[in-house]
Structure 1
Amino acid sequence: MTARTEQAGAGPATRNAQLLGEALKSVTERFPPRPVAELWPATQRGIDDIVNRLESSPLREAVRHTQWCRVTGARQILGWLQQFPGASWQQRWNASPAAASGVEWSRMAAEWIATTSSGVTAPIVGSGLVGLVLADVLRPSLSWQMARRARHMQERFPLVRDPEGFARLQTLAGPARWASLTGRRAVNDLTKIMVAKGGKLADITVGDALEYRTALQEHHTQSAGHTLFYAWLRRLGTLPDDAPTTLRNLGRATGQVGIEQLVDRYDLTCRPVRDLLVDYLTERRPGLDYATLDNLSRFLALHFWADLEAHHPGIHSLHLPAQVAVQWKQRAQTKTVRRRRSDGTYDEVVSPRLDGSTLLIAVRALYLDLARWAGEEPARWGPWVAPCPIREADLNVKKHGQRVKARMDQRTRQRLPALPTVVRAAKELLDKAQARLQAVQIAPVGGRFEVLGETFTRAKRPGSTWVYDDCGRRRDLAQRERRAFWGWAMVEFLQHTGTRIEEMLEASHHSLIQYRLPTTGEVVPLLQIAPSKTDQERVLLVSPELADVLSTIITRVRDPRTGAVPQVAAYDYNERVWTPPMPLLFQYDRSGEISAMNGDFLRKCLNDVLDATGLTDADGCPLDFDPHDFRRIFITDAIRTGLPPHIAQVIAGHSDINTTMGYTAIYPAEAIEAHRAFIARRRALRPSQEYRTPTSEEWDAFLGHFERRKLSVGICARAFGTSCIHEHACIRCSMLRPDPDQRGRLVEIRDNLLARITEAEREGWLGEIDGLEVSLAGAQGKLAQMDAEQAQRSRAVDLGTPTFRDISGRDCTSPPPPG
């Protein structure tokens, strides 16, 4: 939704700044592939022994003509290979021109073998080679196999080489996935590895899989979907415990690298300063997480010293001349970006750097730390002590904070009124996508069908969900439905929880717990939020709306065979590590492999929803939503509707209440000042100990609200801390949630109201009739609501959530009711 920008002017520094492929390089060094063999028993047999083996089970073909082609072609190939040197057939194969390329073999094989045999035809030679490979006499290389397709060998190889292993693999994969296109592709991948390296499925190593992926990428530009075979190997349990959890995106992941690599990615010219930065970051490393260390190395190596070397060649000291320091501080506050025009050209635009203050703080900390450490280790740090070019006055953090607050407030003011439209558009987009998918699934293969006023033609491949519209454009309706579903799930989850996107992605089936109130026995569902930014674990009350969303997600991701949520490993893009397998809620089937979602995919789903809304900002540009905007809106709306700020602080997981108050952008300036004045007056009258993180007793009082809302015919849903504004006329109140178990009592109330209305009509009490009819309408409405909820409960999904006692060893008790 926003303009695509690229940073310019960084030169070689940006080309290797991402350290892409370092994780793959590290794994490749740890897991080398098996060496290519040239001598093994099967390849050292004589021609007659090989032919006898081809005549025996399981290599013997059921069709007589096929068996004749196998034996005849094998004899012709072996006779031709005899003219090449070697102690085995594999060595002779490697010495022949056939081993160079599968393409050349397909084109020249018959011509080559005709020099030593008569009656040679290409089909016979091809069939003979299949027989020799099945008998493990020859092992063509991976690159050779990439250039040639052998359909008959792919069908026969699993049954001949490792029938037990492939049968077990088929059971683990399931019949539907095994027969799918991605399943057949995975079997083909495993077959090629076993053809090139020999052995069975259990003999395939991590290095073999990595080597195959490399060969595949060298011969095919599109290698997506060729990671399912590795996931199947993991499920077989033949790989070591420390093996990579997945091969997907391994080549684009950096992993955690050493400090020297973090600095060397920017190609600093001055070696002494480079060594100083490495030494400085090593000293700071124990107190930093990896994400902070990565950002600090980028600030110091790229934006500070590499920038100085680019503009002042030959610089070699931290003692910066005054003019150089002034010029660098000016550049540190801006950045140059490239904006793409509609005609494909780029413009270079200078814009303010949002993290300019953070950059100045990092550089100032470098100078001050060196000066302080020099007193303890003068020989090590003393030569680098220099006057700090950044004065305290340069760090106008207050003004920077005001600008950030103003920018956040403006975003929230624009997006809060648009939230209902976004929620409604997400649901409509999902409904339409599901209707199209259902229509294509029942449409005949290759036939035309109409749905939602649109006409499509289904692709001719059985089981495919690809369609063509009237303009000939091709669409995958299953992919459209998947993106629409997760766009809806993301919007609903974020608007009801106010969590960060990384917290949402880490939510798992284990995050859903149940807590039973000790006095009333009422079960309160809770959502456990794993520690993320502030390393503080917290729980959220699950509203009925959020419960519907969670049940829909769990129903979608459950394994239909076992009913359990599959466990997947996710890549933490902040810490650059893979997390242990967990039953994550935000997971999906990607080319047959169950994968955890990432923020990029969900942002694309969110953009689809925003495109459907057609919303624009004040400048007429399409309105963009960031996942964090939902968090600001959630906190703003909660405080605006009366939730105490210190309770909102706990729910949001903020360590400082000022951060929570900074998220509230709707209040005008007068309301904010009035609230601050009220806080100041209250602090003057009350002890300062009250202004702190809520205690366990205060939190129990918050939970106790749910005990006091219990009524004779149901539960009152009024907000925490609010009194009844309907004078306890519960039958008439829209906040009453009737209990289906109290239907009989509600029927008695309705019948009593009917009798009282009849009596009032008989006695002429017209004034009382109006009030009784309002109560009667409320009672009838509650009965209808109760029937609707009872029908919905019959279709409810068991989430399989553990109880609170299974999760926590501490019982939270509320004070007993008075009296």
Structure 2
Amino acid sequence: MAEVWPATQGSIEDVVGRMESPPLREAVRHTQWCRVTGVRQILGWLQQFPGDSWQQRWNASPAAASGVEWGRMAAEWIAATSSGVTATIVGSGLVGLVLADVLRPSLSWQMARRARHMQDRFALVRDPEGFARLQTLAGPGRWASLTGRRAVNDLTKIMVAKGGTLADITVGDALEYRAALQEHHTQSAGHTLFYAWLRRLGSLPDDAPATLRNLSRATGQVGIEQLVDRYDLTCRPVRDLLVDYLTERRPGLDYATLDNLSRFLALHFWADLEAHHPGIDSLHLPPQVAAQWKQRAQTKTVRRRRSDGTYDEVTSPRLDGSTLLIAVRALYLDLAQWAGEEPTRWGPWVAPCPIREADLNVKKQGQRVKARMDQRTRQRLPALPTVVRAAKELLDNAQARLQAVQTAPAGGRFEVLGETFTRARKPGSTWVYDAGGRRRDLVQRERRAFWGWATVEFLQHTGARIEEMLEASHHSLIQYRLPTTGEVVPLLQIAPSKTDQERVLLVSPELADVLSTIITRIRDLRTGAVPQVAAYDYNERVWNPPMPLLFQYDRSGEISAINGEFLRKCLNDVLDATGLTDADGCPLDFDPHDFRRIFITDAIRSGLPPHIAQVIAGHSDINTTMGYNAIYPADAIEAHRAFIARRRSLRPSEEYRTPTNEEWDAFLSHFEKRKLSLGTCARAFGTACIHEHACVRCSLLRAEPSQRGRLLEIRDNLLDRIAEAQREGWHGEVDGLEISLAGAEQKLTQLDAALKPSVVHLGLPAFGQIAGQSNTL
């Protein structure tokens, strides 16, 4: 921090002379007297401390150590060198010295002490033109709001600590102020508007961060060495190899892919090997080491918190296990190929690839994923109308509550939609208290309800990816004139995203209504234009250029782009309002990508050719489009039904006649007679018992697991009777008893085999679960 500048090097009389001249001179005589007297007292006290300037003496004094102590101890400190000292006079004198730029209290000093009556005076004295221009840019409403006053206060504190005007504030000053704010208040929410105003003034460079919000998450791209070093690899040669390898592949990869590849190779491959095999330093892996790593690569261990607060480690299959194997196999094969071109550079690292081609056979995994996604789509497709209706009702109710609170007096009670609320006493506040005393922000509720409705409507009518929706702008709406009829039709241009393929969608009347509602909401009321806002790409870790994005909102006076995390919260609010549950009774969840699958499924079901659906969806391969299609095989179902009808027409008609009452009673009585004490008889209808009701001997007896105890008693009794017959010499009796004993033991073996689990359940839906569900397509 600077300690010497012209204003802080003058004498006491020079400083007092400046206080007597405009613009520092106060209009009220008493205020001016207090100001000048306080200046003399403070400067007289500072003379006893070492330094060549008043700022150096201030830093050497106890006053600079704490703003809190200044308010309590200043009068006592200064009383040793001055007479008639009062806290009011000393406080007025300090304000004068700050206004005159003689003293610059640090940011931490200002955080600990509030400077009253200085904010408005500071703007007029230090930079009247800059603040006047800033007020014009902000508008009267925002300037007079709470967030506006807070932003002016933030700028004032920076100028007090750094000197100069608004145009002299740098990005570093803003970051330093943000760090000081977080240190003293643990959070900086609501203190970023000042930075947005500085950008609008044009005093910051073009490459400055677009906003201070979420600055810790908007880290930007880092170098390849930093990507690898975040995993602290022990073997330095292998670490250098991975850096060299990723550098070689960098030109053909986007940053998100490079980030994932570095994670696969550095963390999941080599760091895992070092953790389980300390001292490893070669890519030539022994067969046992390679086999163990491949086994670990297929699973992951996560910590889950229990209800009692403890944690449990759970091992589950890794969904990206095949991708990890492919990345490692590509490393070995690339090194082998590049060694032929540059043997000195890559040759020493060539080793047999531990991953065989057979290890990459993911056909079954793909089929399971396809079945799981199809079931998910079929379950959510019938629920889509309910979600759409709930989103609209939630928005209507939120807007009704907000309109009611805006017309209610401050502190007054009002009733809306059958609920009673009390408005906060602060004028202009939209906070309310419900009947239970809970506080609600109805503006925030209405905002989340609106963007939840907009998300549902946009996704269901376009089938776009969420990143494509967030990048849609006012410029995406274009007009196209049909060459045949000359009719002008609206189109929505989808910017390239995942596959870098640009495409256009026909805007339906429903989608046009949604887009017009969004544009009406986000327009600047003064200019009528859609504000331009810079959005951060969390995949590429770069700031996109400012664009009139459709998904933006006024966040405490700062126009901000909406991110996916906020939209998911809005979507969850809609789902909570529906009350829908899945087959297990859990609340039904919707991912933004579910709307894309539903859109494609519904389009193909309605007769849209798959290759046209491929173009609309922006897929490079039609197999991807068909993978999203979750329609039941209608052709196979209809062919099977036709086969059954044709077979029935060829068979004798008496086989399909209506049974008589006697026949039906005989049919029912047969099944009643199949109920036995040990289980159920499986003999066919119309057949007699072939074992004369010696059920233990019969192979058609299906014993119940609950009767296993009785079977054990029967077996033990048969053993005792056989022993008795052998002892008495009843050999004919022994033969019959042994047959019954063999039947009883066979039934026990069948029960034990049925009770013993023979398969491992992976959580995939069974056929009975799928067939038991009905879908209306």
Relative to the length of structure 2, the TM-score reads 0.81
Of 306, 329, 336, 1:341 maps to 306
- Counterpart Cα distance in 2 of 1:121 and 1:132: 17
Alignment correspondent of 1:565:
530
Task: Identify if the C-alpha distance between structure 1 residues 672 and 336 changes in structure 2 by more than 3 Å, giving closer, same or farther.
Answer: farther
Query: CA separation in 1, counterparts of 2:21 and 2:142?
Result: 33
Aligned match of 1:297? 262
Q: Does 1:422 align with 2:354?
A: no
Greater shift in the superposed pair: 219-228 or 359-368: 219-228
The answer to whether 1:256 aligns with 2:239 is no
3-state SS of 1:193 partner: helix
Paired position in structure 1 for 2:746: none
Mapped partners of 1:260, 1:631: distance in 2 = 38
Question: How many Å separate the matches in 2 of 1:351 and 1:623?
Answer: 23
Deviations 1:767-800 (A, max 9, x none): xxxxxxxxxxxxxxxxxxxxxxxxxxxxxxxxxx
Distance 1:310 1:670, change over 3 A: farther
Residue of structure 1 aligned with 2:549, choices 568, 584, 607: 584
Alignment equivalent of 2:250, drawn from 271, 280, 285: 285
Q: Distance in 2 between matches of 1:175 and 1:663?
A: 51
**Which residue type is aligned with residue 322 of structure 2?**
S
- The equivalences for 1:224-239 within 5 A come to 224-239=189-204
- 1:45 alignment partner, SS class: coil
1:526 Cα offset (Å): 0.3
Residue 381 of structure 1 is matched in structure 2 by 346
* Secondary structure of the structure 2 residue equivalent to 1:370: helix
Q: Deviations over 1:116-155 (max 9, x none)?
A: 1122121211111001101111111111111111121112
Report Cα offsets for 1:266-303 as digits up to 9, x if no partner: 11111111111111111111111111110000001111
- Secondary structure at the aligned position of 1:569 is classed as coil
Pick from 661, 676, 679 the counterpart of residue 626 of structure 2.
Answer: 661
What are the Cα deviations for residues 341-395 of structure 1, in whole angstroms up to 9, with x where unaligned?
Answer: 3343332211111111101111111111111111111111111111111111111
Q: How does 1:671-690 map to 2 (within 5 A)?
A: 671=636
Give the C-alpha shift of residue 536 in structure 1: 0.7
1:314: how far off? 1.4
Q: Distance in 2 between matches of 1:563 and 1:37?
A: 45
Question: CA shift at 1:672, angstroms?
Answer: 9.4
Q: In structure 2, what residue type is equivalent to 1:496? A: H
- For residues 199 and 121 of structure 1, the distance between their equivalents in structure 2, rounded to whole angstroms, comes to 31
Measure, in 2, the Cα distance between the counterparts of 1:669 and 1:177.
60
Compare relative contact order (CA 8 Å, sep 6+) and give the higher one, 1 or 2: 1
Q: Which residue of 1 aligns with 2:330?
A: 365
SS at match of 1:595: strand
Q: How many angstroms apart in 1 are the aligned matches of 2:431 and 2:368?
A: 49
Distance in 1 separating the partners of 2:116 and 2:481: 60
1:221 is the counterpart of 2:186: yes
How far did residue 308 of structure 1 move? Answer: 1.1
Moved over 6 A (4+): 672-675
Is 1:104 the equivalent of 2:72? no
Of 434, 440, 447, 2:405 maps to 440
In 2 relative to 1, CA 583–501 (structure 1 residues): closer, same or farther, beyond 3 Å? Answer: same
TM-superposition CA deviations, 1:77-109 (whole Å, max 9, x none): 011011111111111111111111111211211
Q: Give the 3 Å change call, closer, same or farther, for CA 344–63 of structure 1 in structure 2.
A: farther
Counterpart CA distance in 1 for 2:253 and 2:229 is: 20
- Greater CA drift, 494-503 or 328-337: 328-337
Is 2:20 the partner of 1:51? no
SS in 2 for 1:251: coil
Aligned to 2:209: 244
Instruction: Report the Cα offset of residue 52 of structure 1.
Output: 2.4
Query: Displacement, 1:55?
Result: 2.3
Indicate whether 1:173 and 2:131 are aligned.
Answer: no
Residue aligned with 1:526, SS: strand
Shift of 1:579: 0.2
Residue 437 of structure 2 corresponds to residue 472 of structure 1: yes
Q: Of 20, 28, 31, which residue of structure 2 is paired with 1:66?
A: 31
Cα distance in 2 between the residues matched to 1:196 and 1:87: 19
DSSP 3-state at the match of 2:491: strand
Alpha-carbon distance in structure 1 between the residues aligned to 2:219 and 2:127: 36
Aligned-residue offset at 1:398: 1.3
Quote the offset at 1:212 in angstroms.
Answer: 1.2
| CA-CA distance at 1:535 after TM superposition | 0.6
Contact map agreement 1:412 1:633 (CA 8 A) in 2: yes
Q: Is the 8 A contact 1:446 1:460 kept in 2?
A: yes
- Alpha-carbon distance between aligned partners in 2 of 1:364 and 1:254, rounded to the nearest angstrom: 31
Shift of 1:239: 1.5
What's the counterpart of residue 394 of structure 1? 359
CA displacement at 1:450 relative to structure 2: 1.1
What is the RMSD computed on CA atoms of the aligned residues? 1.5
Conservation of the 8 A alpha-carbon contact between 1:357 and 1:400: no
| C-alpha displacement of 1:48 | 2.0
Alpha-carbon offset, residue 669 of structure 1: 7.4
Which residue, out of 456, 474, 482, partners 1:517? 482
Query: C-alpha distance in 2, partners of 1:315/1:159?
Result: 69
Aligned residue type for 1:583 = P
1:163 to 128, 148, 151: 128
Alignment partners' CA distance in 1, 2:312 and 2:526: 55
Matched, 1:41 2:6: yes
The answer to whether structure 1 residue 614 and structure 2 residue 579 are counterparts is yes
Answering whether residue 511 of structure 2 is matched by residue 542 of structure 1, we say no
Q: Which moved more, 1:568-577 or 1:149-158?
A: 149-158
Q: Give, in whole Å, the separation in 1 of the partners of 2:239 and 2:59.
A: 49
Kept after mapping to 2: 8 A contact 1:72/1:128: yes
SS at match of 1:151: coil
Which amino acid counterpart does residue 551 of structure 1 have in structure 2? Answer: S
Q: Structure 1: where are the runs of 5+ without partners?
A: 1-35, 676-819
Q: Is 1:431 aligned to residue 396 of structure 2?
A: yes
SS of residue paired to 1:190: helix
SS of alignment partner, residue 216 of structure 2: helix
Deviation at 1:673, TM superposition (A): 11
Where do 1:14-33 residues align within 5 Å? none
In 2, the alpha carbon distance for the partners of 1:278 and 1:492 equals: 45
Kindly indicate whether residue 289 of structure 2 is the aligned counterpart of residue 324 of structure 1.
Answer: yes
Instruction: In structure 1, give the amino acid aligned to 2:168.
Output: D
Q: Which has the larger radius of gyration?
A: 2
**Amino acid of the structure 1 residue aligned with 2:93:** G
Structure 2: runs of 5 or more not aligned: 641-777
Superposed, 1:617-632 pairs within 5 Å as 617-632=582-597
SS in 1 for 2:118: helix
Give the secondary structure class of the aligned counterpart of 2:211.
coil
Read off the aligned partner of 1:653 and give its amino acid letter.
G
Structure 1 residues 637, 201: CA separation in 2 closer, same or farther (over 3 Å shift)?
Answer: same
Q: Residue 674 of structure 1: CA displacement?
A: 8.3
Q: Is residue 138 of structure 1 aligned with residue 103 of structure 2?
A: yes
Corresponding residue of 2:462: 497
Deviation at 1:592, TM superposition (A): 1.3
Contact 1:334 1:353 in 2 (8 A): yes
Q: Classify the secondary structure of the residue corresponding to 2:554.
A: strand
Tell me how far 1:520 sits from its aligned partner: 2.8
2:152 aligned with 1:187: yes
Is this contact kept in 2: 1:299–1:359, CA < 8 A? Answer: yes
Higher mean alpha-carbon deviation, 61-70 vs 145-154, is at: 61-70
Name the amino acid aligned to 1:361.
I
| Residue aligning to 2:53 | 88
2:446 counterpart of 1:481: yes
In structure 1, give the amino acid aligned to 2:431.
W
Quick check: 1:75 aligned with 2:53? no
Q: Residue by residue, what CA displacement relative to the aligned partner does 1:601-658 show, whole Å, maximum 9, x if unpaired?
A: 1001001111111111111111111000000000000000000111111111111111
Alignment match, 1:701: none
Paired with 2:632 and 2:69, the residues of 1 have a C-alpha distance of: 75
Q: 1:61 Cα deviation (Å)? A: 2.1
Alpha-carbon spacing, 1:672–1:344, altered in 2? closer, same or farther (3 Å)? farther
Match of 1:556 in 2: 521
